[in-house]
Structure 1
Amino acid sequence: MVDQQWTGVRRRVVALGARADSGQVFGSLGHRWVLEDPLSAAELAELEAQTGARLPEDYRDFLTGVGAGGAGPAYGLFPVRRVQGRWRWEGDGAELADPSMLARPFPGHGPDPESLAALLAERPEEEDFDASEEFDDAVEAWDERWEAVMFAPERTAGAIVISHVGCAQREWLIVSGAHRGTIWSDCRADDTDLAPLVDDDGRPLTFAGWYTTWLEAAELTSRQ
């Protein structure tokens, strides 16, 4: 049985999309208020069997009671689809998540802050080089070191990308480990580590809180 918190949510999203001013909501031109059809219980079971991980309960209920993706925060909730017999999440950056690592606990912490600060301090500055070619080579070498640390696959084990915020910034849903069920912001493209999203009271934001907060704000925006 689908949790009552999702009762009427699909209808509310459809109603929002039908409003003449719905385009005022940030990111709506990306998802266009379209919701995928919900997954059946059998499809959800197949998805979880393939990934080896049980998805957070509120997300499971959303997938089977509201939709398998589409209209949602930012440019939309990444849809999960079966492609050539295998399930996968689709969207800008969805491939950053490794489906084979979803059952592994999400680490919840990044590199040692002091080590990270030291690496940032070593980033090349153009004024330190006599030739632009030398500077470009140094930047390329530093970028490789940075990406090896910040984008190591182990950093996002037990998590899936579910939304693109823009400018290579994304949001992840943690599916395994102590942080299971929470949403994390990914601004690593701006040299900022992954960090949990929190509500107004400073508590970790769950999938349900993340989605319903967006929906309520979208309804207010379209009324203004």
Structure 2
Amino acid sequence: MENTQQYFSSINCEIQIIRARNIEQSSLGKSNLFVRCYLPTGNNHRVKLNSQEISSKSDLFWDETFSLDCMGNQDSINMMKQGTVHFELRSRKYIPLLGKNIVGSQLLGKAEIPWKRVFESTEMELEEWAIFIATSKNNEDVKPPAVKIAMKLKVNEAIKVEKNDKLRRSWDESCSCKGYCGCNSGSIFSADDYDIFAFGAALDAL
């Protein structure tokens, strides 16, 4: 008889954008800063999330957390360990034109943190100043921009589930992603395709 049962663990991931430093404010003028996160979701897909915008003339403090609920089996967890969270520090200016704001963002620098480092850290928690590699040539005497980032993982006990369409529909309906992960289309999470990792993403400001 075919085994229709699999063991899945639920994982809670937290990514906290705390504050920035070494921002060359004089070159930014009157603009806003935000951090963009790219989170791998398997099958060469990724989720894009933006932090709130803060004034480049402020104290550069966000203290904002992305809370992510994930579900997968051991293969999914192993795949997650090979993934990397990519961060972009961006500035945005609002230019009024004909009664409307013309908006766009400028990439100031990039950084990345592998999930493996979080899994292998004490109590699966990590907090550090991530150095953002500037996208343009800067004075060598000027320190590169940095953002203090905290990442945390909590893996709950594995549960046994049935491998059938009813379970799949039940998970889709309960997913908190609100359109981020696309699980309702069946393209991200499937009990049959356990090598694809599902993310349900919600943004919680502290």
Which TM-score applies when normalising by structure 2? Answer: 0.23
Greater strand share, structure number? 2
Greater helix share, structure number? 1
- Looking at both structures, which has the greater relative contact order when contacts are Cα pairs under 8 Å and sequence separation is at least 6? 2
Which TM-score applies when normalising by structure 1? Answer: 0.22
